[in-house]
């Protein structure tokens, strides 16, 4: 568990002085509330950074059109972290020290998030993390607006068994913290349903030929591939797996899958894959369709709308609700007000847990079919597992 306590950073006099230097000045009525965004707009994960930007921009535009927050307009200040942890820290420091932001949105990767943790704590500035992750953080200055394993992966594994796909698994993912921790959780879930794990492999980024591991998966006899290889590498793997014929005998449970991948595998490819998600753009739910329509009104009819768009939008709307509940523009008061807060999101009511600042919301099992991502099962509201303790 990643547990960064306040006393770790402000126990010494020097550290206390450093922390106080970051205190947020009072904002007079009519002045702008600035929100920083440390997102990848280059370096390999810019697709996800651009999804985040659509959600953040819509939230700011809607808030400002409705009169702002407590008399203040909202401005998003974007910084490119280049998909790099060190750059993420540098950008966060700039936003806190020079721009005096009320909060920071981002980043995408767990490595960048962990690198920023000390800076956020020292600057007493909340980080709004809206990417699905492996769980384990309990920190006053971090709010998670996306899913943890008990919300997306835990329901997916028994669902695949229930529909007759199978309960023997092979796990394959990128060699970094998110896949490793997700697979560790998944193995326990597989064991609970009486299933078996037949193999576990990790790969560095940038691999071009996946034939050896594809053959290994095929030879294992596994019925399900639990897959956690994001971005272009994941697309390359799926294409090669299709060509090999792996997808005819093995179902793919794609962790982190979203609409951003649709169409990337080629026409008629990438079908019959499963995932657990907090949002499906094709859902017939009125709130979802209204949200998708509002995004496309600004970004074009062809704009891809994934859960990354919604969760980043939600984070800014939560900031608004927190400040209005607090009755003043103050970071610490906002943090206190956001704990336990219930507010509406496109998929229905959502609640931020009071103890560890994660979010309970409606969840879905989704499946790729006919070139789109469709709801296979509505799961209802799933609370995040406790992250503190």
Indicate whether 293 and 188 sit together in one domain.
no
Indicate whether 213 and 242 sit together in one domain.
yes
Q: Which helix (H) or strand (E) holds 41?
A: none
* Percent of the chain whose pLDDT exceeds 90: 87
Indicate whether 134 and 24 sit together in one domain.
yes
- pLDDT digit string (tens) for 135-161? 999 999 999 999 999 999 999 999 999
C-alpha 246, offset from chain centre = 29
Residue 98 lies in a domain: yes
Indicate whether 119 and 172 sit together in one domain.
no
Indicate whether 183 and 301 sit together in one domain.
no
Q: Percent helix, strand, coil in the chain (nearest 5)? A: 40, 20, 35
Tokens 């600057």, located at residue: 123
- pLDDT digit string (tens) for 57-102? 999 999 999 999 999 999 999 999 999 999 999 999 999 999 999 9
Per-residue confidence (pLDDT) for residue 3, from 0 to 100:
31
Number of structural domains found in the chain: 2
Of the pLDDT bands very low, low, confident and very high (cuts 50, 70, 90), residue 293 is very high
Per-residue confidence (pLDDT) for residue 24, from 0 to 100:
52
Indicate whether 238 and 183 sit together in one domain.
yes
Residue 12 lies in a domain: yes
- pLDDT digit string (tens) for 254-280? 999 999 999 898 888 999 999 999 999
Among residues 225, 258, 277, the one where a domain terminates is 277
Per-residue confidence (pLDDT) for residue 232, from 0 to 100:
87
Q: What is the pTM of this model?
A: 0.90
Indicate whether 160 and 263 sit together in one domain.
yes
Indicate whether 140 and 58 sit together in one domain.
yes
Among residues 277, 302, 323, the one where a domain terminates is 277
Distance CA 333, CA 124 (A): 12
Per-residue confidence (pLDDT) for residue 30, from 0 to 100:
60
Among residues 255, 277, 299, the one where a domain terminates is 277
Distance CA 211, CA 208 (A): 9
Indicate whether 290 and 143 sit together in one domain.
yes
Per-residue confidence (pLDDT) for residue 45, from 0 to 100:
87
Contacts of 325 (CB under 8 A, 6+ apart): 337, 338, 341
Residue 122 lies in a domain: yes
Indicate whether 315 and 296 sit together in one domain.
yes
Indicate whether 268 and 183 sit together in one domain.
yes
Per-residue confidence (pLDDT) for residue 2, from 0 to 100:
29
Pure H helices in 163-285: 177-192, 211-220, 231-244
* Tokens representing residue 87 in the block: 């750059």
Residue 319 lies in a domain: yes
Residue 386 lies in a domain: no
- CATH at residue 91: 3.40.50.2300
Residue 235 lies in a domain: yes
Q: Collapsing DSSP states into helix, strand and coil, what is residue 360?
A: strand
Of the pLDDT bands very low, low, confident and very high (cuts 50, 70, 90), residue 5 is very low
Q: What are the b/e assignments for 14-36, b being 16+ CB within 10 Å?
A: eeeeebeebebeebeeeeebbbb
Mean of pLDDT values over 108-118 = 94
Domain that holds residue 258: 149-277
Q: Is the dihedral of CA 301, 304, 307, 310 positive or negative?
A: negative
Residue 185 lies in a domain: yes
Mean of pLDDT values over 299-317 = 97
Residue 40 lies in a domain: yes
Indicate whether 56 and 82 sit together in one domain.
yes
């Amino acid at each position: 568990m990643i547990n960064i306590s306040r006393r770790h950073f402000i126990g010494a006099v020097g550290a206390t002085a450093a922390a106080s230097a970051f205190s947020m000045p009072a904002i007079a009525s009519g002045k702008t509330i600035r929100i920083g965004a440390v997102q990848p707009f280059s370096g390999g994960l810019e697709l996800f950074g651009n999804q985040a930007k659509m959600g953040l921009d819509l939230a700011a535009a809607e808030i400002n059109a409705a009169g702002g927050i407590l008399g203040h307009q909202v401005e998003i200040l974007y910084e490119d972290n280049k998909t790099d942890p060190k750059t993420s820290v540098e950008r966060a420091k700039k936003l806190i020290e020079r721009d005096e932001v009320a909060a920071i949105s981002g980043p995408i990767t767990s490595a960048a998030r962990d690198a920023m943790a000390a800076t956020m704590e020292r600057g007493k500035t909340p980080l709004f993390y809206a990417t699905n992750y492996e769980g384990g953080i309990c920190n006053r200055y971090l709010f998670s607006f996306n899913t943890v394993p008990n919300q997306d992966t835990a329901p997916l594994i028994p669902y695949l068994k229930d529909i007759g796909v199978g309960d023997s698994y092979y796990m394959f993912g990128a060699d970094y913290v998110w896949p490793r921790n997700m697979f560790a959780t998944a193995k326990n879930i597989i064991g609970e349903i009486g299933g078996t794990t037949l193999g576990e492999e990790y790969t560095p980024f940038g691999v071009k030929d996946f034939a050896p591991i594809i053959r290994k998966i095929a030879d294992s006899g596994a019925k399900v591939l639990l897959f956690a290889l994001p971005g272009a590498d994941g697309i390359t793997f799926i294409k090669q797996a299709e060509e090999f014929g792996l997808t005819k005998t093995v179902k793919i449970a794609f962790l982190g899958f979203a609409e951003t991948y649709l169409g990337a595998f080629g026409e008629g490819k990438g079908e019959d894959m499963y995932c657990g998600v907090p949002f499906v753009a094709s859902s017939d739910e009125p709130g979802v369709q209204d949200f998708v329509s509002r995004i496309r009104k600004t970004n074009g009819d062809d704009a891809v709308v994934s859960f990354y768009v919604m969760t980043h939008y939600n984070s800014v709307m939560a900031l608004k609700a927190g400040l209005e509940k607090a009755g003043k523009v103050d970071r610490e008061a906002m943090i206190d007000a956001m704990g336990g807060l219930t507010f509406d999101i496109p998929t229905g009511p959502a609640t931020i847990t009071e103890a560890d600042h994660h979010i309970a919301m409606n969840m879905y099992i989704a499946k790729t079919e006919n070139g789109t991502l469709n709801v296979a099962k509505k799961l209802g509201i799933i609370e995040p597992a406790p992250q503190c303790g």
